[in-house]
């Protein structure tokens, strides 16, 4: 079943279009990886899905509902959570407080959800009262993901979760991404680490210069000679 569709999206920050008629589809339970060179428009795509940018053309649909142009505070209530590429945690607050910020729109008792999120990230669970600014890059990224999961989203948008991490930590973050997906959360993940992102993807999209270049199963894109040469470094 199609869960989320961004269809025929044209959008920009000024009068200049950055994305040109881009379409990305996410089915229930899928990891969809979006790869492409710097400046391709990957972050712009996620910002548009999350309502930070309003598309000039095209539609964003969640299940059967048109959510195009809704503001982020409405989108998040529809079940889409977003982890931005930068500044995705509150460094002066503790781990626990960051998680509580993630739950800020919940009026119900979220203590069980908090436990589930800490179960997913035991390393954070041991340090609940520590300020996030003192954590390592990998742990901060886990805080950012945990915060986004507090609302129990249907879809998680992850912008470059492995960026800036030491190679030894990258695989740990991707393991967490897979664990989150195994709990039934669909996701769009944008990654520089394209090979790894395609390995775990059910479906992958290649963007370049603001346009769809190619999409296929992760496996097929990995096996594609041209994708390998142009986007996976040989």
Ligand X SMILES: Nc1ncnc2c1ncn2[C@@H]1O[C@H](COP(=O)(O)OP(=O)(O)OP(=O)(O)O)[C@@H](O)[C@H]1O
Count, residues near ligand X per rule CB under 6 A: 11
User: How near is the Cβ of 104 to ligand X at its closest, in Å?
Assistant: 25
Interface positions, 59-98, toward ligand X (CB under 6 A): 85
Residue 209, interface with ligand X (CB under 6 A)?
A: no
> Among all chains, which residue has been given the structure tokens 């090979």?
195
Assign 153 to helix, strand or coil. coil
Q: Tokens for 157?
A: 């948008």
User: How near is the Cβ of 216 to ligand X at its closest, in Å?
Assistant: 19
H helices then E strands: how many in the chain? 10, 10
Assign 99 to helix, strand or coil. helix
As a whole number of angstroms, the distance between CA 151 and CA 190 comes to 21
Q: Cα-Cα-Cα-Cα dihedral of 145, 4, 202, 41, to 10°?
A: -70
CB 57 within 8 A of CB 9: yes
Q: Is 44 or 94 the residue whose CB approaches Mg ion more closely?
A: 44
Residue 55, interface with ligand X (CB under 6 A)?
A: no
Ranges assigned E (strand) in 63-164: 65-66, 80-83, 155-159
Residue 18 touches which member of ligand X, Mg ion, none, C-beta under 5-8 Å by kind: ligand X
User: How near is the Cβ of 86 to Mg ion at its closest, in Å?
Assistant: 9
Q: Is 149 or 207 the residue whose CB approaches Mg ion more closely?
A: 207
Residue 43, interface with Mg ion (CB under 5 A)?
A: yes
Q: Which of 33, 43, 81, 181 binds ligand X (CB under 6 A)?
A: 43
Site string for Mg ion, 87-126 (x = CB under 5 A): ----------------------------------------
Q: Which of 28, 39, 133, 136 binds ligand X (CB under 6 A)?
A: 39
Q: Is 95 or 198 the residue whose CB approaches ligand X more closely?
A: 198
Residue 162, interface with Mg ion (CB under 5 A)?
A: no
Q: Is 39 or 91 the residue whose CB approaches ligand X more closely?
A: 39
Q: What number of other Cβ atoms are within 10 A of residue 179's Cβ? A: 12
Residue 18, interface with ligand X (CB under 6 A)?
A: yes
Residue 40, interface with ligand X (CB under 6 A)?
A: yes
Residues 6+ positions from 121 with CB-CB distance below 8 Å: 142, 145, 146, 176
Burial of 175 (0-12, 13-18, 19+ CB in 10 A): exposed
Q: Residue 38 gets which letter from DSSP?
A: T
Summarize as ranges the residues that interact with ligand X (CB under 6 A): 13, 18, 36, 38-44, 85
Summarize as ranges the residues that interact with Mg ion (CB under 5 A): 42-43
């Amino acid at each position: 079943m199609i869960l989320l569709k961004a269809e025929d999206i044209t959008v920009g920050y000024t009068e200049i279009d950055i994305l040109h008629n881009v379409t990305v589809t996410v089915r229930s339970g899928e990891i969809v990886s979006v790869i492409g060179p710097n400046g391709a428009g990957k972050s712009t795509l996620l910002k548009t899905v999350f309502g930070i940018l309003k598309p000039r053309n095209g539609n964003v649909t969640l299940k059967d509902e048109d959510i195009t142009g809704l503001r982020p505070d409405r989108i998040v209530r529809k079940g889409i959570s977003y982890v931005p590429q930068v500044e995705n945690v509150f460094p002066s607050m503790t781990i626990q407080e960051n998680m509580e910020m993630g739950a800020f729109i919940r009026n119900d008792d979220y203590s069980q959800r908090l436990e589930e999120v800490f179960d997913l990230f035991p390393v954070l669970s041991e340090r609940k009262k520590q300020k996030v600014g003192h954590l390592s890059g990998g742990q901060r990224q886990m805080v950012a993901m945990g915060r986004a999961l507090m609302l129990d989203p249907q879809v998680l948008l992850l912008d470059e979760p492995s960026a800036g991490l030491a190679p030894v930590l990258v695989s740990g973050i991707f393991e967490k991404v897979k664990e989150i997906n195994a709990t039934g959360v669909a996701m769009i993940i944008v990654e520089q680490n394209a090979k790894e992102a395609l390995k775990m993807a059910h479906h992958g999209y290649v963007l370049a210069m603001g346009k769809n270049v190619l999409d296929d199963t992760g496996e097929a894109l990995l096996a594609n000679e041209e994708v390998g040469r142009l986007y996976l470094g040989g």
